Structure 1
Amino acid sequence: MYLEKGEEDKEGPPFEMSLGSGRYHALVGTNPIDVGAEIQIAKELSLECDEPVFSIDRANDPWTVMSWRKGTPDVLEEDPEALATSLGCPLPRREEPLSHVAKTLLRHVAWVEGVRASEAHRALEEEYGGPLSPGRYHLEDTPRGVRVSSETGDIGFADVNLSERLPNAIVYGVIASPGLDVFIVNRLEGGECIGQFAQPPREDSFMPVVSEIKGERSPERILEALGIPAEWFRNE
């Protein structure tokens, strides 16, 4: 994420500061399980800046580049490394892992309460401006809501996008390792994370911390309450 000078003291999740050679600095997230963190921080910073704030999502391939002005995003068709260089803040090399967590196989799925799969599908098409490519997302109606997954094991920012497009829905984004020893649930409403459950607990999270999801406190019971099979995270 790139910000103007004078904004580098904002509090947030763990970031590495990359001092730029011009008007922009970069905050490089060090923890890949902070899904949506850069989007939320870029949005807030853009409300205070006269010039755009840029965010680069490195969780997906290709990387997603966004420009933020006064809280409003715009997806850019630009090469992220070229943009970073033009701003005076070259990106870290791609082969460098962001942290030890990056070495762990993490899978990301979402559960959407209050809508049907057809409505969620339309919302994603509106977000991306056209039909979804085959296999990009798998949306399945369940008795408890809509389960959103991907053949790649990573839905990117689909949970955040759905919570923005469906303001009356409650979205749960779940990130977990195969053994559930790393287990994160973000409860999203209106595009904002209003509660994060983490096991093990995370002292560095800038999101509101909750101790239970739907009354449950263990990963297995939380997944059961959300209608997400624990086996899904173990499929490689």
Structure 2
Amino acid sequence: MASHSNLDFYLSPPHPCGYLPGQTATNLFANPKVAMDITRYSALARLGFRRSGRLVYRPHCPRCSACLAVRIPVDQFQPNRSQQRAWKINQDLSAICCPVEFRAEHFDLFYRYLKGRHAKGGMDNSTPEDYLSFIASGWSETSLIEFRDAKNNKLLAVAVTDTLTDGISAVYSFFDPTLKRRSLGVYIILWEINEAKRLNLPYVYLGYWIKACQKMQYKSAFRPLEVYQSKKWSIFEET
């Protein structure tokens, strides 16, 4: 057990790593019995923590440091050509901010996304209750951003975002897995960058990046990128 700012932390039991096959992982959790709020959570996000539902955690593996918390400094960000294409091709989408509540249309898209992109990843048999407990916390300033085709109002993507005191945290996003040409995952992050600028917030927090995890490589394409290492944020230099 550790302590920070009157908040206790507990290590989870070892469990199979969800990112690196064959590896064992442990997480450092903030005590869920202690009241969390957006100010406290924002301070923890600056220390590399994330949330899953109402639980706030950070990977804490004794023999592995592969999980690196990363964030985009939005005022310095420069989109590359493929990101510019993703932005342009999705200008026909409308973005609608929704409260955090269960919607069958969202869950259907979430389910199809997991089956199409993350089959056998541990979440692809999620129930509606699993889904809602994953995206909601009860204490965070969370929004569901719908991205719809403006022509036919079809739902193509949903971004789950938390508004922190110093940025936007990209909690999760899911989208139509058949629309590869649109690069919807990339577009959502670009939208979040622009939203952070609109709100005068300096960062977009992207969660964790792991060099050996192919599904996370898209994050390192957003430059400049900052990484939390050795108890400080610095510019990411991939080696």
For the superposition of Structure 1 and Structure 2, which TM-score range results when normalised by the shorter chain? under 0.3
Normalised TM-score (structure 2) = 0.26
Normalised TM-score (structure 1) = 0.26
Bigger RCO (CA 8 Å, 6+ sep): 2
